[in-house]
Amino acid sequence: MEFNSKPKGILVTGVIGEDVHVTGIRILEHALRNAGFKVVSLGIHNFDNDFINAAIETKADAILVSSLAGHAKMLVQDLRSKCIEAGIDAILLYLGGQLVVEKKDWPDVEKMFLDMGFNRVYPPFTVPDHPISDLKTDLGVGGNKPWK
């Protein structure tokens, strides 16, 4: 679905690592487009530099990383510092999915990734309304365009 007016923001989305799980990110992308964002979808099999290059190229406002295989800690720990190195210090970083392999309480998981420099972290089965509402807050864009 194409947006007609000016997009609310430009977002880079993708799955990080060797992961092939695609359902979650495809639902999110569909919802983000419907909410008026421009989505630059990288799909599966990306590493941190792929996200950063796409963000620079498209002048993105945020990077939304999905990870479902439990290896997120290894894959995303340098993302914020690499963004700073690349000169996109202010970019929003969101992360969601099945982020860890070990059994760990959610507040601890969330804190670990917030400490790595992510702005928002989401547990599995988060519905798109939450990140969409957070994006509107974080980007200072309002207005609702309901589904359908």
Partner 1 sequence: MEIRNKRLSEEEFFQQREEVLTMWPTGKEVDLDEAVEYHKSIPVGKNGALKTMEAKKRRVTELFCSSGTDTIAAHTELLRYCREVGRIDYASSYIDSFTRTGRFDMAEKGLKEAQKSGKKVLNGFPFVCHGVRGTRAVIEAVDMPVFVWGPAVDLRLVMEIGLAGGHTGYSGGPLISFWNYAKNVPLDKVIGFYQYVNRLMGYYEEKGVPILYGVSGAMPTITPPSLMTAAKIIETLIAAEQGCKHILLNNWAQGNMAQDIGSILTHSKLAREYLHKFGYDDVETVTFSVDPTGRYPADEQKVYSLIFYFAMIGVLAGVQMIGVRTVDEAKHVPTKESISASHQCARMMINMLQDQQNEVVNSDAVKAEARMEEVETKAILDKVLEMGDGDVIVGAVRAVETGVLDQSYATSQFVKGAVMGVKDAHGAARYMDHGNLPFSQEIVEFHQEKIAEREEKIGRKVDYEVLVGDITAIGDGSLLPERWGG
Considering only residues 9, 97, 128, 135, which one is a binding residue for partner 1 as defined by CB under 8 A? 128
Q: How many residues does the chain have?
A: 148
Instruction: Give the 3-state secondary structure of residue 5.
Output: coil
CA distances from 90 to 1, 61, 81, 82 (A): 28, 8, 11, 12
Q: Which stretch binds partner 1 (CB under 8 A): 43-51, 69-77, 87-95, 100-108?
A: 43-51
Measured from the CB atom, the residue of 2 and 105 that comes closer to partner 1 is: 2
Annotation marks residue 71 as catalytic: no
Measured from the CB atom, the residue of 44 and 88 that comes closer to partner 1 is: 44
Residue written as tokens 């359902």?
23
Least CB distance to partner 1 at residue 18 (A): 11
Phi-psi region of 92 (alpha: psi -120 to 50; beta: other; left: phi over 0): beta
Q: Which stretch binds partner 1 (CB under 8 A): 25-33, 51-59, 74-82, 89-97?
A: 25-33
Residue 41: Cβ-neighbour burial (10 angstroms; 0-12, 13-18, 19+): middle
Binding interface with partner 1 (CB under 8 A): 1, 20, 22-23, 26-27, 29-31, 41-45, 125, 127-129, 147-148
Q: Would you name the residues annotated as active-site residues?
A: 19, 21
